[in-house]
Amino acid sequence: MPPSFDILSEDCLDTIIPRILELVPSARIVFLSSLGKRIHDSTARVLFHTLIVQDDELALLPSAGINSAAVVANPGRYAMHVKKLIVRDSDILMRAADTVTLPEDESFETCTPLSSTCLETLLKSYSNLEALCWEGYLRPPDGLCEILVACNPRLRSFSYDPPTLPMSQRKNLLKWDAPSLPLLADLPITTLRLSWLSQTGTRTFTSLLQDLGEHSTLEDLSVELVWLDDPLCEAIVASGRKLRRLRLSTSGTKLTDKGLIAILEGCDALEDLWLDQIQGRLSRALWSKPSGFPMLHRLRITISETGPSHSWATDHLTSLEYLPTAGLGEMSVTRTEAPPRMYNDVPMYNLTVDDAVSLQPLPAAMQRMLREAKSFTVLRCDFWMCSITDIKTILDGCPKLESVQFCLDAPFSKLLALTSTFANLSNLNQLRVSVNHVHAPGKPPVPLPPHGPPSLPVPTDSPVLKSKVVLPQLLDFDQMQNQTCLAKADLSDPSMPLLRDIKRFVRKCPKLKTVVRKAWPRLVGRETGGEVLEDQHERLC
């Protein structure tokens, strides 16, 4: 009798085999060598669909013993299955980056970055390649785009996105000039993600968009550039006939209302707009100026909690009420934390909050907007703090909510007084609440001093406001474990709800899967309170 796998279609095999390999990784050897051609081919499609290559020629030698080396050693058998190629830093460079500042000349004596010749040899083998993601600290070799055009005519996605680094290291990371980027106009590119380009690289990117023009197939664009300005936005519009998803991020101040209005009025197919850490000079009246808007399904605005932020960075939120909400399913105006520095394997966060983004009450204009947001299924709005009355108004105005996140300007126990209001949200499955720390009076643990000299603050070159708000230091794992025990035992905290109130809340909201409660500032050390409540909810369900 033939093996049972033989009666399955290729699509079915490609669905089943990844699950098997996830549960039993060692089975890949048997699947590749002992179960026939169909199982071998399906396993190869799974294992080699996405190939991660180190930016180090030595890592491609057969002796390296990794997937990429196997493909190089036997391209005729495996290279045809590679659809996505990710280039990351070598293990050697990653270890060095954890301890020292990256060298200014982008060299490391024991690491040999991929040369143009080596990269061309690789890409020639991957005739079915559809996506290339360059995620290394070091810049690509010259001629990358020429090689892609010549060797990979099916390429649909291109990404240049170096990993996020602390500013002390990132300032030495040279930006990419991307001299041949306009050549990508000859490929059927639908997804483009670019960051850390130089001023010259930004100009070549603008040229690429202009060359794409009205015949562009671009659907997904992410841009994180210091030099993001109005002419670049106009070039996005010129190539944005099919653009559906757009992310804009800039620490520069060149972007004004003109550029963003051009996008809102000119990109008719736009469904998902993400303004991520925008420091451009956007006015208070921005959202009232466009003569028309695309039919957005998703709007996200994220602001860094720890900065640096210019004093005008959030002015444009004043006019957000003018944004049409018909058809808008998700809206987010949220805070994000800066990436931590590692100190003795413990994450160390920036301890300041810019006055420009300090916690303020929910504006009346936003209350009016959210009162009529009938189509919202996801609402994340923790940039402002909301009173109990604000939250009731929001929940009454958004009956289709499935996920909600906000900052509460009241003790958490008061929120459960709205149990009947939450019960009316029949689809709600996730609730995330940050609590203003003045309403979380429990005793947070005292952080232990680090073993070693204290780190001194690094002055910034950006003319931003100095903060008056200080965040306590994040705890290490052992301290968090102790804090969890304290949180469970501290029954005198009036901000924590009674168990009977939690049970009633859970019974009234049967679809709710996740309840997370945190304190603001987020690093106060009371995040364990969210874990306690979440565990109680899951147990009661």
Domains assigned to the chain: 49-174 (no CATH), 175-289 (3.80.10.10)
Percent of the chain with pLDDT over 70: 74
Give the pLDDT score at 357. 84
More confident position, 73 or 431 = 431
Task: Write the pLDDT tens digit of every residue in 317-346.
Answer: 999 999 999 999 999 999 887 666 667 777
Residue 266 has pLDDT above 80, yes or no: yes
3-state class (DSSP) for residue 353: strand
Q: Is 502 helix (H, G, I), strand (E, B) or coil?
A: helix
Classify each residue of 205-216 as buried b or exposed e, where b means 16 or more C-beta atoms within 10 Å of its C-beta: bbebbebbeeeb
Whether 379 contacts 405, CB under 8 Å: yes
Higher-pLDDT residue of 3, 383 = 383
Tell me the pLDDT band of 29, cut-offs 50, 70 and 90: confident
The predicted model gives 431-442 an average pLDDT of 80
SS3 content of the chain, % helix, strand, coil (to 5): 40, 20, 40
Is 138 within 8 Å of 145 (Cβ atoms)?
no
Q: How far is CA 251 from the centre of its chain?
A: 17
pLDDT at 487: 42
pLDDT over threshold 80, residue 5? no
Measured at the CA of 120, the angle between CA 119 and CA 124, to 5 degrees, comes to: 120
Residue with more model confidence, 281 or 492: 281
423 exposure class (CB count in 10 Å sphere: 0-12, 13-18, 19+): middle
Nearest Cα to Cα of residue 365 among 294, 316, 431: 316
| pLDDT recorded at residue 537 | 44
DSSP-derived 3-state class of residue 528: helix
Query: For residue 346, what pLDDT is reported?
Result: 73
Q: Which tens digit of pLDDT belongs to each residue from 52-88?
A: 988 988 777 655 455 566 676 677 778 888 999 999 9
Residue 404: band (very low, low, confident or very high) from pLDDT cuts 50, 70, 90: very high
Radius of gyration, CA atoms only, the chain:
26
Dump strand ranges (E) for 288-417: 298-304, 330-336, 341-343, 346-348, 352-353, 360-361, 378-386, 403-408
Measured in degrees and rounded to the nearest 5, phi and psi for residue 357 equal -120, 25
Residue 115 confidence (pLDDT) above 70: yes
d(CA 404, CA 427): 11
pLDDT for residue 521: 55
pLDDT on residue 207:
97
pLDDT value for 18: 85
Give the residue with greater pLDDT, 354 vs 82. Answer: 82
pTM of the full predicted structure? 0.82
